[in-house]
Structure 1
Amino acid sequence: MHEVGMMQSILERAVERAKQEGAHHIDGVHMRVGAASGVVPDSLEFAFEIAKKGTIAEDARLETELVPVVCYCANCQLEFQPTDLLYECPECHQPNCEVKQGQEFELAFLDVS
């Protein structure tokens, strides 16, 4: 489960940033996770519970914003949300459209005290 390593890395950065700002506790960790990021939200929550032990985020909650996939077809100049994993343009059926959003895995913000 690669989510544990990813969450440990995110929490390390979050703790470092919170301490730089003079915080003693992290109360909430807010993440943006794209539908095409390869991260499973339930696994991420499990990883968060493991990674936060013994840190200033031990009592924190994890909030996850799921970001849908949005593609762009240069041929039609159309932005669309694909209905399957092929990301094919619904207008011209171009098979390899650019993914504009949906691959995010990022720390959006922290609630600290």
Structure 2
Amino acid sequence: MHEMSIAEGILDIALDYAKQNDAKVVHEVGLILGEMAGVEMESLDFSWRLITKDTIAEGAKLTVRKTPLVGRCSKCGKEFHIEHYNFWCPECKDGVLTTISGRELQVEYLEVD
């Protein structure tokens, strides 16, 4: 379950930020999570609750902004939502593309006191 290591990384970021800003409580952590990041939210939530116990982040809410998996065809330039991991361009049927979004996994914001 790689969600535990993801939760640990998020907690490290939150605690480091809180320390730098003399915060006593972490209320919320906002994440950007791409459609192709491969994160199971139920497992991440469980891991988050487990590792934040007895820390200043205990009870902090994880808020997720999901980004779609979008690609741009290298042949015709069409941008499109990649569904079911079908990486073929719907316009020209070429299979060479650049991924524009959908692989993100980052902390977007923190709410602390």
TM-score when normalising by structure 2: 0.94
Unaligned 5+ residue runs, structure 1?
none
> Any idea what the Cα deviations from partners look like across 1:5-28, whole Å, max 9, x if unmatched?
111111112111111011100000
Q: Sequence identity of aligned pairs in percent?
A: 34
Determine the C-alpha separation between the residues in 2 that align with 1:15 and 1:83. Answer: 36
Determine the C-alpha separation between the residues in 2 that align with 1:85 and 1:29. Answer: 29
Root-mean-square deviation (CA, aligned residues, Å) is: 1.1
- Residue 66 of structure 1: how far off its partner (Å): 1.2
> Any idea what the Cα deviations from partners look like across 1:3-54, whole Å, max 9, x if unmatched?
0011111111211111101110000011111110111122211111112112
Aligned positions of 1:1-113 closer than 5 A: 1-113=1-113
Unaligned 5+ residue runs, structure 2?
none
TM-score when normalising by structure 1: 0.94
Aligned length: 113
Structure 1 residue ranges, 4+ long, deviating more than 3 angstroms after superposition: none
